[in-house]
Each structure stands twice: as C-alpha cells, then as structure tokens.
Amino acid sequence: MTMNRLIFKILMLIIILSISACASTITISEELSPAEIIQRGQEALDRNRYNIAIQYYQALHDRNRTNIDLIITAEYHIANIHYKQGKFALAREELNKVLAYYNSPDEELLPQHFKRLSQIVLQRIDEKERKGFGKKKNKEAQE
C-alpha cells in the first residue's frame, strides 16, 4: 500500500505540474526586438499555446505604446487568438477596436492588412454564430 500511495502522489504531482505549465506566465526579455516578439508569439500560436502567444503580443503592445503600427499588430493578434479560442464576443469587441483606428485621416498610413483581416474574422464570427458555434464559450467569456 505504501508503494501505491507513493506512486499515486508522484502521478498527481506530475499532473498538477503539467496543468500549471499550460497556464504559465513567461518572462520576456527586454532585449527582444518587436520583430522577435512577434515571431515568438507566432511560434507559440502555431503550437496552440494561446496564453503564451497572448503574453508575447501583450508585451509587444505594452512596450511600444507610441508606435501605432505595433499597437494594431498586437491588438489584432490578441483578438485573433480569442477568435481561435471561440471567445467570439471578446474577439468581436477587440476587432472592432482595431477597426476604429482606421476611422481617421491617417488611415492610409496604417497597416492595411490588419484592417482587411479584422473584417474577415468578423465575418467568420457572424457565420459561426449564425450556425450556433461558440455560444457556450461566449457566455463564459462574458462572465
């Protein structure tokens, strides 16, 4: 019995560590350039490590508050991750915020691909909601 309890405790520890690793907070070097932060965010996204990707894009946003191109980049990517997570209400709100940047006389100076991508993702959200996808996750995201 003692050996079984020891094995059980070790297995529980492994499970707890695995779960906590999924929701871990990362340290992002201050020496990373914006391009490197974007690249690492994309790499995390490619591995479906959404929370880590969001941390990279949030760092990009926080470290570049005077660069509108990087702010739009970060905000679009965070919104897109929320879309991929099925958090449609949150993603819609964030994408509309991205699109609001383009309601200015300087619109032509902003990165146009994020405007178009935001519009496409909003259309996809509308389509999915019409089909009934994401209702449960939207309720969870709003609570």
Lowest-confidence pick of 15-24, 79-88, 104-113: 15-24
Would you say residue 19 has pLDDT above 60? no
Three-state secondary structure along the chain?
CHHHHHHHHHHHHHHHHHHHHHCCCCCCCCCCCHHHHHHHHHHHHHCCCHHHHHHHHHHHHHHCCCCHHHHHHHHHHHHHHHHHCCCHHHHHHHHHHHHHCCCCCCHHHCCHHHHHHHHHHHHHHHHHHHCCCCHHHHHHHHC
Comparing C-alpha atoms, which of 74, 88, 75, 64 is closest to residue 137?
A: 88
pTM above 0.85, yes or no: no
Domains and CATH numbers, the chain: 32-142 (1.25.40)
CA distances to 37, 42, 85 from 29, rounded to whole Å, are 9, 16, 26
Query: What's the average model confidence in pLDDT over 9-27?
Result: 67
Residue 107 pLDDT grade (very low, low, confident, very high; cuts 50, 70, 90): very high
* Average pLDDT value for the chain: 88
Query: What's the average model confidence in pLDDT over 68-90?
Result: 97
Encoded tokens for 99:
């699109």
The pLDDT assigned to 143 comes to 46
